[in-house]
Structure 1
């Protein structure tokens, strides 16, 4: 088997490994899954990562539950890791067994919510089961696309912006998309990661709250935003899939946003994408989520250092910001200077507004004045 492990940032190299997996039932109700690296047999491409014997023990428990013990044992060269991420990566926090647990728990919760006959919703608004399933599947596709788009995986051909002050901003084209009545347009993903002196939980609550949206989203200044409906995913009410309605005026609906926000023992995410009214109506009526065009944007939040004893909040955060746009002027091989300037302006303003939101009550006025 082959695996490419990555963090939700373009600034940390991925960990690629070839390994053999051995699964065996060890006794009644107990199973073992063990992975052993095969890098000695597959020396190319050269890798600074070796996965020593790792895996899990699964034991059946009463009431349909399982007890899982997970062990990660690796040898890795971390010299290429960016300085702001080095404490997290070197400590083992980011690629630890806890991360496998977090992914496993999230998937199980998603399946349980998907199969539930009813689910907690906003103000008693009940979505039909077919519509709820389509909404959850669309949100899952959006989230997986976001994870793939912002990582340093081999498929992502990131390039730095040729602008002074943009050393930590990365951009790439992701093929073309048909636009009715116009030539095919390129999809561009651009991202950066910054450190903030804000606890991860506080930053997560700020970014997921629709009432805070106009404090950082320059495209929505002056708009009215409300959470029209949501589905809670799991036991934490903050882990939810939401439909946000954006009004230019109290009577005029401009666009809808699909948003998923969730937090686990490793990090937090707020991921969103615009969806027009016709597509949203189709999804809520049980239509296929696969035919909806999704351009995911959003944030990933990690602590800026390992939590003490592996638990509790820390005073700072590492925030990754990512946008996904359609650009008529760009091609799959070339981003023109004007588009580069726009990319830099959008991501720099967003980072400034988020930082300023925690230090000033007059963010928009400060930006306009500058």
Structure 2
């Protein structure tokens, strides 16, 4: 079967951030190659999700197929919510975060009220995002961010502690398309409470056992990559891994989107990357509460620190 796909796009370049103009000019941002690559990846993902026997490795062999399918559905919802959380619209417009950002990034924020959604914690949710150019290839950047062994180099919640991959489910032929369950050290939970003042109901069997898990999905194709993650509590993940309904697991995803910079068509290994860093944070458990200066400063510091750590780890601070 032959498919003919013709794309026509018209945009006002003045309205486009200078970082993204080369990407749009190259045709990578809106061209058919991007959509075909994304469709191919999505078809592979859906084929696995709808399969009667979801592939398992040593880390997931003990999880029943229904549990693996439930994990994939939860990860799919997590990634969809991440994308929705960083996309502006006429109803949800971004505002520029002023002051305190000393590394050159334009941090944009928006808030929303989460009410009566079983898939999210109730309260005021602050979404914050920034985009930066890095002089490293998209593949190298993607491999770095998805590697749990290197996570402590950029994830402030790790506090320099180790991360262990407890479960891994492949979602296609590319090894970069997968869902993982990561276990963090106990010290991360204390930092998580202190830094965001989250209210989490997490129980651990003993002091040596992790009190927080991180669900992560990584997606990649020829046009772009995503690394999306969210902290989840142990009882909720036990329910999911036993085949329970994942729709009632509350999470707020954060993560990264990686695009080629379009400088030379995105085809050379030395091409740079456009990295979007985005966080969604519950700043108050009351949906009617007002956004505080402290909350804005917290997310400002979080994004600035994360970008700085990534730049340092990849030797591109200059």
Give the TM-score, by structure 2 length.
0.84
Task: List alignment gaps of at least 5 residues for structure 1.
Answer: 1-58, 60-66, 364-370
Task: List alignment gaps of at least 5 residues for structure 2.
Answer: 188-206
Task: Summarize the Cα distance change of 1:131–1:331 in structure 2 as closer, same or farther, 3 Å threshold.
Answer: closer
Task: Say whether the 8 Å CA contact 1:114–1:133 is kept in structure 2.
Answer: yes
Task: Summarize the Cα distance change of 1:267–1:314 in structure 2 as closer, same or farther, 3 Å threshold.
Answer: farther
Give the structure with the higher percent strand: 1
Task: Summarize the Cα distance change of 1:99–1:231 in structure 2 as closer, same or farther, 3 Å threshold.
Answer: same
Give the structure with the higher percent helix: 2
Q: Give the match for residue 83 of structure 2.
A: 147
Alignment of 1:305-316 (within 5 A): 305-308=262-265, 311-316=267-272
Q: Give the match for residue 19 of structure 1.
A: none
Q: Give the match for residue 19 of structure 2.
A: 84
Q: Give the match for residue 72 of structure 1.
A: 7
Number of equivalences: 292
Q: 1:340 & 1:101 partners in 2: Cα distance?
A: 39
Q: State the superposition RMSD in angstroms.
A: 2.5
> 1:262 is paired with a residue of what secondary structure?
strand
Task: Summarize the Cα distance change of 1:331–1:290 in structure 2 as closer, same or farther, 3 Å threshold.
Answer: closer
Q: How much does 1:324 deviate?
A: 0.9
Q: How much does 1:164 deviate?
A: 4.8
Give the alignment partner of residue 177 of structure 2, picking from 220, 239, 243.
Answer: 239
Give the alignment partner of residue 276 of structure 1, picking from 233, 245, 249.
Answer: 233
Residue 327 in structure 1 maps to residue 279 in structure 2: no
Q: How much does 1:151 deviate?
A: 1.9
Task: Say whether the 8 Å CA contact 1:172–1:189 is kept in structure 2.
Answer: yes
Larger RCO, structures 1/2 (Cα 8 Å, 6+ apart):
2
Alignment of 1:102-181 (within 5 A): 102-123=37-58, 125-126=60-61, 127-165=63-101, 168-176=106-114
Q: How much does 1:108 deviate?
A: 1.1
Q: How much does 1:118 deviate?
A: 3.3
Identify which range, 332-341 or 256-265, moves more after superposition.
332-341
Deviation string for 1:166-196 (max 9, x for gaps)? Answer: 7610111121358xxxx96311111100111
Residue 260 in structure 1 maps to residue 217 in structure 2: yes
Q: How much does 1:247 deviate?
A: 2.2
Q: 1:94 & 1:318 partners in 2: Cα distance?
A: 12
Q: 1:335 & 1:90 partners in 2: Cα distance?
A: 38
Task: Say whether the 8 Å CA contact 1:224–1:248 is kept in structure 2.
Answer: no
Q: Give the match for residue 290 of structure 1.
A: 247
Give the alignment partner of residue 346 of structure 1, picking from 279, 290, 302.
Answer: 302
Identify which range, 204-213 or 103-112, moves more after superposition.
103-112
